A and B are shown apart, each in its own frame.
Chain A
Amino acid sequence: MRRLLALAVLIAGPVLYFTRRRDERRERVNLYYDDGSMLTLERGLPGSERLLELARASLR
C-alpha cells in the first residue's frame, strides 16, 4: 500500500508541477497595433506583470 502511494506521488508530483508551469507560461498579453504587428508579453518579461495583474483584476 505504501509503495503504491509512493508511486502515485512520484507520478502525480511531476505531472502537476509541469502542468502548472505550462499553464503559467501560457499566461500572456498580446498587444495588437494598427500596422498589423503584434507584441506578445509572457510572464516574466519586462512590463508583463503589470498587464497580467490588470488582466487578472478584470476577470474578478
Chain B
Amino acid sequence: MGATVREELGERLGEGSAHTRSMSTVRFSDVDTASALADLSEISSQIEVAVVFDSDGTVLGSTGADEMRAKRLARTALDLVAAAGQVGTGATRQLTQIEGSLREGSIFVVTGEEQAIAATTTPEPTSGLVFYDLKTCLRSLVPEPDPSGAEQSESGQSEQAKPAAKPRRTKKKASQTNEGQTSETQAGETKADA
C-alpha cells in the first residue's frame, strides 16, 4: 500500500520527469523550510499544524507538531492524495488540492512539483485563505534558478538573445513602410555583429 501511494504521488508530483530530475540536485535547506513554515503559522491563525513533505513522505519541515505527529500527518496526507486520485479521475485533469471538512476541524493538502504541504485547521476555516497561504508557502520553497549560474553556462546564448530582440521592434515600425523587411533585418544583423 505504502509503495503504491508513493508511486502514485510520485507520478502526480511529476517524479521522473526531466524537470524534476534536473531540479532534484538542488537541496532545500532546513532553514528555508523552517522560515517558510514560521511565516505560514504567523500569517494564518487558523492553521494548527502544517507539514511539508516530499513524494516519499519524508518530512521536510513542520510547525505546531512534534516529529511523530508530523510524520503521521504526512503519511495520512499521502494516503489522502492517493485515495482522492482514485475518485473522479479524468485522464486530462490532475489533482492539485484537497480539503477535508469535518466537525473537529479541516485538513488541507496542496501538491506541488516536488513537494506537498498538508495542514490541519480549526473547524470551519476560510478555505480560500488557507489554500492561498499554503500555496504561497509551497511556492517560497521552490528554488529559483541561480542567475549567476545561468550567466556562466548560457553566456553565449544570452548575449545573442539581446540584440535579436531589437530588430523585432524595428520590424513593426518598418513593416508600415514598403521598404521594411530588408532594411530592418540588415540593421539587426549589423547590431548583432557589433
- Which A residues lie at the B interface, using CB under 8 A? 23-24, 26-35, 37, 39, 41, 47, 50-52, 54-59
Contacts and interface: CB of A to CB of B under 8 A. Distances in A.
Contact of B87 (A26, A35, A51): A51
Nearest to B102: A27
A59 B92 contact: no
Interface in B49-104: 72-73, 76-77, 79-80, 83-84, 86-88, 90, 92-104
Nearest to B73: A58
Contacts, number: 87
9 contacts: A29-B84, A31-B97, A34-B94, A50-B83, A52-B100, A58-B77, A58-B120, A59-B102, A59-B120
Interface string B91-130: 0111111111111111100000000001010000001000
Given A47-B88, A51-B83, A58-B76, A34 B93 contact: yes
Contacts of B101: 26-30, 55
Contacts of A29: 84, 98-101
Choose among B93, B100, B120 the residue with the greatest number of A CB atoms under 10 Å from its CB: B100
Given A30-B98, A34-B94, A34-B96, A56 B84 contact: no
A18 B11 CA distance: 43
Contacts of A24: 103
A47 B105 CA distance: 20
Contacts of A54: 76, 79-80, 83, 100
A30 B83 CA distance: 13
Nearest to B110: A32
B96 A33 contact: yes
Given A31-B95, A35-B93, A55 B100 contact: yes
B99 A30 contact: yes
A55 B102 contact: yes
Contacts of A52: 100, 102
A24 B103 CA distance: 8
Contacts of A34: 93-96
Contacts of B90: 33
